[in-house]
Amino acid sequence: MKIAMIGTGYVGLVSGVCFSDFGHEVVCVDRNPAKIDMLRRGEVPIYEPGLDDLIVRNTEAGRLTFSGDLAAAVAGAEAVFIAVGTPTRRGDGHADLTYVMAAAEEVANAMTDYTVVITKSTVPVGTNRQVKHVIENANPNVEFDVASNPEFLREGAAIDDFMRPDRVVVGVETERAAQILEEIYRPLYLRDFPIMTTDLETAEMIKYASNAFLATKITFVNEIAALCERTGADVKRVSQGMGLDGRIGNKFLHAGPGYGGSCFPKDTRALARIGQEHGLPMQITETVIKVNDEIRRRMSEKIVDMLDGTVAGKTITVLGVTFKPDTDDMREAPALTVIPALIGAGAKIRVVDPQGQREGAALLPGVDWLDDVYEAVDNADAVVILTEWNEFRALDLERLAARMRNPAMADLRNVYSVSDTARAGFYRYVSIGRRDLMPQSDE
């Protein structure tokens, strides 16, 4: 199967590379010449474990190429995937479909024979109908079908998610399009992974409903964590007790500083907007958005309270700024709320993150970037764990405390425990939804 993948962002690049590993002939297209040159050299513009090896292997096998020529890539393709960005539109929270529709028109003008145009980008319900209309207007004589094939890739585990998916969702209108999608995903069919075929609107809705539900689970447990702090309960044990219920499950029940990333914030806002446009407000989703914003703001307050109500003139070392480990993605990361608030309150911030500086340097002006955790805490007044990279899960806590001016830790991912930190010499330790270690008041 000859495939053109329009867009080499996170979704397009991972999908295109994995399709080539299935044995298909894939051309990944992007307007950015520098990015195409980089990919042709085997360099990867994003951090995703294992992706660089797959690119090299499939490029050397001749199955994977990179091009800036959309017309040439589309002209020889049996299937064209649109995997361009759908950022939140300013002003109304809706997904911005400008790039999707522009790509659809370009694809239409380049098509010569029957082609299936497949939307991989996350798009509101009804978008594929719009894509069909754009193609019909741009090239009324071409024979084509449209399809919806939303992605469900977790950053940091995207390759495994693509190769061993919980399910593949395909929205089509014709049997001919369904057969082509079946051929594209044949390696997964042969291994009995669930392939769900629906109509266009249902496929589009599955994506939004899935992400909104996961965002709700995260936000729910974070609200429970706040209540645990007031009542003396331990949110880690509460989450464990909930997760053992098969109806609930243990995934996405880890308390923290709120969800971020490229999907949940954007998709919850878009779903809320879709509901408003159809006269049916998504009240749960709208509340999740509001509560998540409040949780993120509360994190900086937690750090300030730990340091006796002020961070002015104090040095704080932040461990991890990407929205999750094993990615360099800074989009909607809690760090983008927490760190500016601390700087605004007069703190001096040092940051250690294995992959965060490439994007974070521009997004977090005024911080000092260091590579070594122990050097970064020299004479610091507090250390804050914001992203639970593996490098931060097995720190020498005694060594850490010994190098700090005031051994205080805000563990916003619940990596450690009160007993571990107390034994190591920390006299202050706060986490999410658990008992704190704080000096007794003189009163």
| Residues 99-127, mean pLDDT to the nearest whole number | 96
Q: Tens digit of pLDDT for each residue in 257-267? A: 999 998 999 99
228 is catalytic: no
Provide the token pair at 390.
Answer: 């593996």
Task: Give CA–CA dist 379/239, Å, rounded.
Answer: 36
Q: How confident is the model at residue 56 (pLDDT cuts 50, 70, 90)?
A: very high
Note the pLDDT of residue 94.
83
| Residues 343-348, mean pLDDT to the nearest whole number | 98
- Going from the C-alpha of 40 to that of each of 181, 206, 290, 357, 391, the distances in angstroms are 27, 35, 43, 24, 31
| Residues 4-33, mean pLDDT to the nearest whole number | 97
Q: Tens digit of pLDDT for each residue in 178-233? A: 999 999 999 999 999 999 999 999 999 999 999 999 999 999 999 999 999 999 99
Give the active site residue among 18, 28, 228, 263. 263
- Which residues on neighbouring strands pair with residue 5, listed in sequence order? 28, 81
Task: Give CA–CA dist 214/39, Å, rounded.
Answer: 33
Q: Tens digit of pLDDT for each residue in 139-163? A: 999 999 999 999 999 999 999 999 9
| Residues 361-371, mean pLDDT to the nearest whole number | 97
Q: Can you say which residues are annotated as belonging to the binding site?
A: 30, 35, 86, 122, 152-155, 207, 252-256, 260, 266, 324, 331
Note the pLDDT of residue 154.
93
Could you tell me the end-to-end alpha-carbon distance of the chain, in angstroms, rounded to an integer?
Answer: 75
Residue type, 387: T
Note the pLDDT of residue 90.
78
Note the pLDDT of residue 443.
42
User: Mean pLDDT in the chain?
Assistant: 95
Residue type, 195: I
* Sequence-ordered alpha helix ranges (H) in 43-174: 51-60, 70-75, 98-110, 127-138, 158-163
Note the pLDDT of residue 442.
45
Nearby residues of 338 by Cβ (< 8 Å), 6 or more positions away: 257, 296, 299, 300, 303, 318, 384, 386
User: In the chain, what are the domains?
Assistant: 2-198 (3.40.50.720), 199-443 (3.40.50.720)
Instruction: Give the CB-side neighbour count of residue 248, counting CA atoms within 13 A.
Output: 16
Q: Can you say which residues are annotated as belonging to the binding site for substrate?
A: 152-155, 207, 252-256, 260, 324
Nearby residues of 367 by Cβ (< 8 Å), 6 or more positions away: 318, 339, 343, 349, 350, 351, 360
Note the pLDDT of residue 2.
97
Q: Can you say which residues are annotated as belonging to the binding site for NAD(+)?
A: 30, 35, 86, 122, 155, 266, 331
Q: Tens digit of pLDDT for each residue in 278-328? A: 999 999 999 999 999 999 999 999 999 999 999 999 999 999 999 999 999
